[in-house]
């Protein structure tokens, strides 16, 4: 996924102080692919799953057959104006069938001309995986993910600096 911006990536231990706001639900979503029977809009609907198999709040999944297994997919969050962010969380979906935990995932932001790597994000199940980083001002951020099968997301949170 590329090298992180020097000095931006911190370890997977992160802190999101109370002065931050989850702005994921105000973003317009796009993706490399979403299965027709799944819902891209579920990744920012603010419904927190009970575990990684809990699809009750909807799920984003990108299964489209074995031909695309192992491909890199992405979900982007875009706002009409620049925002300043410093943390991202994702809750992975794993259905035990065609949707599996990614083998690698990373956060990238749009700098106006290209996607720039912020760093890798955790792959744990049954929890939010987070990354914190130096404040970035952008109008778009995305999560790229790769798996031996297809990947899925139940919920994402993106924290703006107030």
**For residue 11, what pLDDT is reported?**
37
Per-residue pLDDT of the chain (162 residues; tens, 9 = 90+): 444 444 443 433 444 445 579 999 999 999 999 999 999 999 999 999 999 999 999 999 999 876 667 789 999 999 999 999 999 999 999 999 989 999 999 999 999 999 999 999 999 999 999 999 999 999 999 999 998 889 999 999 999 997
112-116: long-range contacts (C-beta < 8 A, 24 or more apart)? 115/142, 116/2, 116/5
Give the per-residue pLDDT at 70. 75
pLDDT given at position 19: 57
pTM of the model: 0.87
> In which element (H, E) is residue 116 found?
strand 115-120
Q: What is the pLDDT of residue 9?
A: 39
Report how far residue 14's alpha carbon sits from residue 112's, in angstroms, rounded to the nearest whole number.
Answer: 27
């Amino acid at each position: 996924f590329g090298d992180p911006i020097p000095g931006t990536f911190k370890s997977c231990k992160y802190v999101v102080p109370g002065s931050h706001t989850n702005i994921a639900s105000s973003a317009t979503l796009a993706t490399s692919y979403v299965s027709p029977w799944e819902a891209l809009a579920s990744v920012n609907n603010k419904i927190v799953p009970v575990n990684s198999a809990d699809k009750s709040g909807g799920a984003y999944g990108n299964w489209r057959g074995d031909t695309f297994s192992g491909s890199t997919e992405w979900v982007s969050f875009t706002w009409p104006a620049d925002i300043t962010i410093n943390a991202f969380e994702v809750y992975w979906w794993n259905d035990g069938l065609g949707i599996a935990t990614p083998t690698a995932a990373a956060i990238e932001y749009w700098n106006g001309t290209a996607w720039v790597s912020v760093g890798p994000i955790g792959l744990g199940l049954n929890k939010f995986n987070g990354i914190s980083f130096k404040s970035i001002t952008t109008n778009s951020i995305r999560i790229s993910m790769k798996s031996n099968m297809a990947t899925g997301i139940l919920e994402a949170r993106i924290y703006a600096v107030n």
